[in-house]
């Protein structure tokens, strides 16, 4: 790549406002609550925050059914609160990135209401309509939630497209007026001091224009190779304001990513791709280490010199990493949380930390469907029950895969409701927050939080760990993940045992290496040949093989 950009050596932190900190004691997190925690984010070593959706919304899908792109939902505060928050972050040296849902609005948005009111008016073409009847849909297209992607409007004898919920009608991105609206929205937030955008659902923007049946029934939005052509009108406003662009890009391959990240022909600075996570499609046991190695290494190698990787293992749509990849039971919870942190954070790219990940928070542990608030989880439950699946089996799957696993409120203290609020939270707390919270972890040198702080300091201070080439080292097993970072002859080695069993390092020589960091006490990590379960080591490797 050409000149180094600030975000290439930065660490991001995703905040889910509803669950971060409640300042007004109503059980819901808010923007003033985030303001009170800036010192914490500074102590962690964060360079920019990504604020998940906070717009006025129909609240059908956790704020991603937007009713007004130029305001703050009242439950989160006001525009004045937002302005104060941005100012405070900037004074602390932290940049601000916000979510922007490009694919759809709420069905309560004024644009859609105008489209319903006047089929001949200018807003009709802001959305995608096809002739239909009460019994015959335009085609077999299916939403990501498993039902029809069309909702029939009887008095108009037509149906509108929604890739997500019926309350989230898709925008027609082939309409220049829609693109112009988004340009104006971006400039409006840039004028308020925003430093970048995470564009949600960009791989859904380009739809088939023939409206023919497809196999599978979701393939109507999967022809994404030239999706960035629809975004070309947005590029000037982004470049003019020096805005960081992050694309949520599930389903793309590395070759497409290269084009999308190319400064000359692409649109994005960073992409959130999901090859290493498959929670939307299925709830599976932990990924085999060999498959994980192959997937992550393919992306590392494909973007070497042609793009920049985005490093993440958690976000608001995924289960907790320690429960999915790791082992959240007993002593292995801390150990595997640290191991996973070292594994991904020291790869080449810009790391993102999702709130609570730095504490090793586990999944929610919900035992009944009434515990869940997530639309996807509730609809999954309904579909599975209708198909005759036993309730215990469904709940077991949700306990592993539900998006609510990541949305439990952030635990700050050992007090009731984890110090998140004085009021019962909108969603139950994760288990064990009396022991797993910021206050306790901040005073325990062996906790997950100080380990993350160490990882961030090391990542920022070692040029090879910032910019060096990534090289996978084949260990020939399904336990160890070992890779090297190299820059101008300076070599660093990451060794992680991703299993509950001891592993051997006999396939490579560590005798000329200096152990820099481990997630076990030094005396327990002194055996060069045996790597304990969920042990992670960082070596300064002085000699190439």
pLDDT band at 508 (very low <50, low <70, confident <90, very high): confident
pLDDT score recorded for residue 4: 83
List, edge to edge, every strand of the sheet that includes 490-497.
469-473, 480-487, 490-497, 536-541, 513-518
More reliable by pLDDT, 245 or 379 = 245
Strand locations in 336-473, DSSP E? Answer: 350-354, 469-473
DSSP H or E run through 284: none
Same fold, 6-103+176-363+431-451 and 110-161: no
For the segment 271-314, what is each residue's pLDDT rounded down to a tens digit?
A: 999 888 763 444 455 567 888 899 999 999 999 999 999 999 99
More reliable by pLDDT, 253 or 276 = 253
Dihedrals phi, psi of 428, to nearest 5 degrees: -60, 155
Strands 95-101 and 196-200: parallel
Nearest to 59 by CA among 306, 402, 365, 373: 373
Q: Compute the average pLDDT of residues 21-31.
A: 98
Helix axes 448-461, 331-345, angle to 10 degrees: 20
Q: Compute the average pLDDT of residues 368-396.
A: 95
CATH code of the region 6-103+176-363+431-451: 3.20.20.80
Q: Compute the average pLDDT of residues 302-331.
A: 95
For the cut 50, the answer to whether the pLDDT of residue 545 exceeds it is: no
Domain boundaries, the chain: 6-103+176-363+431-451, 110-161, 466-541
For the segment 464-490, what is each residue's pLDDT rounded down to a tens digit?
A: 999 999 999 988 888 999 999 999 999
Its CATH class, for the domain covering 466-541, is mainly beta
For 326-423, where are the alpha helices, taking DSSP H only? 331-345, 375-386, 391-401
- Segment 439-446 long-range contacts (CB within 8 Å, at least 24 positions apart): 439/412, 439/413, 439/414, 440/413, 440/414, 441/359, 446/334
pLDDT score recorded for residue 280: 40
Strands 480-487 and 490-497: antiparallel
CATH code of the region 110-161: 3.90.400.10
pLDDT score recorded for residue 263: 85
Virtual CA dihedral for 153, 159, 163, 165, nearest 10 degrees? 10
For the segment 38-60, what is each residue's pLDDT rounded down to a tens digit?
A: 999 999 999 999 999 999 999 99
For tokens 């379960």, what's the residue?
A: 533
Burial of 450 per CB tally in 10 Å (0-12, 13-18, 19+): middle
More reliable by pLDDT, 132 or 3 = 132
Whether the Cβ atoms of residue 488 and residue 478 lie closer than 8 Å to each other: no
Q: Compute the average pLDDT of residues 116-137.
A: 97
pLDDT score recorded for residue 285: 56
Nearest to 308 by CA among 344, 351, 354: 351
Average pLDDT of every residue of the chain:
93
Q: Is the dihedral of CA 57, 60, 63, 65 positive or negative?
A: negative
């Amino acid at each position: 790549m050409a000149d180094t950009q600030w975000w290439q050596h930065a660490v991001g932190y995703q905040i889910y406002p509803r669950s971060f900190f409640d300042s007004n004691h109503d059980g819901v997190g808010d923007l003033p609550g985030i303001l009170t925690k800036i010192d914490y984010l500074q102590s962690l070593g964060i360079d920019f925050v990504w604020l998940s959706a906070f717009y006025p919304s129909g609240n059908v899908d956790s704020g991603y059914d937007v009713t007004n792109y130029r305001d703050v939902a009242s439950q989160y505060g006001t525009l004045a609160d937002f302005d104060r928050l941005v100012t405070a972050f900037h004074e602390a040296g932290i940049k601000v990135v916000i979510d922007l849902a490009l694919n759809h609005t709420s069905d309560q948005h004024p644009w859609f209401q105008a489209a319903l009111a006047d089929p001949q008016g200018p807003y009709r073409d802001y959305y995608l309509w096809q002739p239909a009847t009460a019994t015959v849909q335009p085609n077999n297209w299916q939403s990501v939630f498993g039902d029809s992607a069309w909702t029939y409007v009887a008095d108009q004898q037509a149906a509108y497209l929604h890739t997500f919920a019926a309350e989230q009608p898709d925008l027609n991105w082939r309409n220049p007026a829609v693109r112009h609206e988004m340009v104006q929205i971006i400039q409006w937030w840039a004028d308020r001091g925003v430093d970048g955008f995470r564009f949600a659902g960009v791989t859904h923007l380009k739809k088939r224009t023939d409206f023919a049946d497809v196999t599978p029934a979701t393939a109507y939005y999967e022809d994404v190779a030239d999706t960035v052509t629809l975004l070309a009108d947005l590029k000037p406003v982004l470049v003019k304001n020096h805005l960081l662009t992050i694309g949520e890009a599930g389903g793309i391959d590395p070759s497409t990513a290269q084009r999308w990240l190319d400064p000359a022909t692409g649109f994005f600075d960073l992409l959130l791709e999901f090859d290493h996570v498959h929670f939307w499609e299925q709830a599976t046991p932990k990924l085999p280490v060999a498959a994980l190695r192959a997937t992550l290494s393919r992306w590392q190698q494909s973007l070497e010199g042609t793009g920049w990787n985005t490093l993440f293992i958690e976000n608001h749509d995924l289960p907790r990493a320690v429960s999915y990849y790791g082992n959240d039971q007993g002593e292995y919870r801390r150990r595997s949380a640290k191991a996973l942190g070292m594994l991904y954070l020291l790869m080449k790219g810009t790391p993102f930390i999702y709130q609570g990940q730095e504490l090793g928070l586990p999944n929610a542990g919900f035992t009944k469907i009434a515990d869940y608030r997530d639309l996807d989880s509730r609809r999954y439950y309904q579909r599975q029950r209708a198909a005759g699946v036993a309730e215990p089996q469904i709940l077991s799957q949700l306990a592993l895969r539900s998006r609510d696993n990541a949305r439990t409120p952030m635990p700050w203290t050992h007090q009731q409701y984890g110090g998140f609020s004085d009021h019962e939270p909108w969603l139950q707390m994760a288990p064990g927050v009396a022991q797993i919270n910021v206050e306790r972890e901040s005073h325990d040198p062996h906790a997950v939080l100080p380990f993350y702080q160490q990882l961030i300091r090391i990542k920022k201070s070692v040029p090879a760990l910032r910019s060096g080439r990534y090289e996978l080292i084949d260990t020939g097993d399904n336990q160890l993940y070992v890779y090297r970072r190299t820059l101008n002859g300076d070599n660093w080695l990451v060794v992680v045992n991703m299993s509950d069993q001891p592993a051997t390092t006999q396939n490579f020589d560590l005798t000329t290496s200096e152990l820099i960091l481990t997630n076990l006490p030094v005396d327990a990590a002194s055996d060069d040949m045996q790597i304990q379960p969920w042990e992670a080591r960082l070596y300064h490797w002085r000699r190439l093989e």
